[in-house]
Structure 1
Amino acid sequence: MRKLWKYMKIAMLVFFLPIVTYLAIAVVCTYITVNNQEISDATHEIFISSNGVHLDIVLNKKDLSKGFLKGIVHYTHEDYLAFGWGDEDFYLNTPTWNDLSVANALQALFWHSDSLVHVTRYHYPQKHWAKVRVTKQQLQSVIQQIESAFLLKNEQKEVLQRSYHFYDNFYKAKGSYTCFYTCNTWVNCVLKNSAIKACLWTPFSFRLMDIHLNLSKEK
């Protein structure tokens, strides 16, 4: 019996140690910020949106070129577009967190699968968004990175015939979702690569929202 208990403890250690290590590194990296310099010539704005777990980058449609908008479903009265990136199976089969299962969570984290860009349309800014003041160069970098996430078919964005509501759509995307590169990591990387304040690395949503909500209050 003692031997059995010893083997069980070893098995538990082997199983939980990587998880604890991952979470510890993630928390530390989440609280280390980059691109902390003050920006004096920020003449444009973008937004970050969160549903509590998943981040989106929101852009004003007036900042997007006709080439960028080509192939994206949008209408005249919808002035803001929110962009998220994530695992295809997880996106399509987990419309709410009540639909989350161990199987689709593990598949998204550890199984190589296709990804999607999720685009949601809005009439006007939402109160819970975090406003991010940016320069023209930073804005263009954000736009270019979002555009590069779309997987083109015959030089066209490929829209899926599935959505959550009447105001959103999914598009085929490049890349694969993993525990090291999540939907929130994608948003953080877009900001970080655009010289906008961000986390060193994060798979989470809360810290990035807090950073920019606090910055917008200060201004």
Structure 2
Amino acid sequence: MVKKILKTIVWTIGSLLAFIILYLCSTYILSHISTNKEDNVTADVPIYILTNGVHTDIVVPVKYGQTNWSHEIKFSNTISKDTTATLIAFGWGDKGFYLNTPTWAQLKFSVAFKAATGLSTSAIHATFYKSLTEGPDCHRIWISNSQYARLCSYIQSSFKTDPAGHTINIPTTANYNNNDAFYDAKRRYNLFYTCNTWANNALKAAGQKACIWTPFDKGIFYMYKDQPAK
């Protein structure tokens, strides 16, 4: 009986280690292979990719063409209620991480377990900015009007909506700053579909350079490491 238990423990640990190694190797390889960027398009709209070192946001103009994000992502849902912002950043992620984990030191096992296994729900974190400065953590990308339309459609499709088709604001005191708010989102976070996977897919939707797959921000920014700040 003891041998059988020990054998089971060894097999379990070995399987876990094998999974971790395979996951990390797949992450490294697939995040260093780029998808094709659409060529012969006009540079009409500036967007940004922005990272805090872990999580990637997609940043777009608050108002451009027929799209005015402030109609659904209202300034009044932020603490400041400042209406002078010109940019809005979108980040998709695990709702528990967003609302219950102010710092990594406060991360609970239950939150991490639910996120990794897809047992939790998701949210979109929207942050207003007046301007952004390009650098290692922030890259500007020019895209065409048609690419921007596809990007907007991708972002809009990630929101859960009420019966009237409006976004659902999440009342909370877990704001990161005075200019952000949270909204209910579709899909579930897991090891294979993370906040950075969502952002990477947003770049694909816009016909931009992206990783084949990545769960980490490093893969996305690796694709733009040679792009000079402008």
Identify the structure with the greater helix proportion: 1
TM superposition score normalised by structure 2: 0.85
Quote how far apart the aligned CAs of 1:198 are.
Answer: 0.1
Query: 1:1-219 residue pairs with structure 2 within 5 A?
Result: 8-36=9-37, 38-39=39-40, 41-63=42-64, 65=66, 68-74=69-75, 75-127=82-134, 128-154=137-163, 155-162=165-172, 163-217=175-229
* Aligned-pair CA distance for 1:12: 1.8
In the superposition, relative to structure 1, how do residues 44 and 194 fare at CA in structure 2: closer, same or farther (>3 Å)? same
How far has the Cα of 1:64 moved from its partner?
A: 6.4
CA distance in 1, matches of 2:45, 2:213: 25
Q: CA deviation at 1:161?
A: 1.3
CA-CA distance at 1:150 after TM superposition: 1.0
| Paired amino acid for 1:144 | S
Q: Which amino acid aligns with 1:33?
A: S
CA RMSD of aligned residues (A): 2.2
SS of aligned partner of 1:153: coil
The Cα offsets for residues 113-159 of structure 1, whole Å up to 9 and x where unpaired, read as 22111001111113441111211111111111111111111321111
Quote how far apart the aligned CAs of 1:200 are. Answer: 0.2
Counting aligned pairs with the same residue, the percent is: 33
> Which sits farther off after the overlay, 76-85 or 33-42?
33-42
The gaps in structure 2 that reach 5 residues or longer are 76-81
Count matched residues: 218
Query: How does the TM-score come out when normalised to structure 1?
Result: 0.89
Structure 1 residues 137 and 216, CA, compared in 2 at 3 Å: closer, same or farther?
Answer: farther
Q: CA separation in 1, counterparts of 2:19 and 2:10?
A: 15
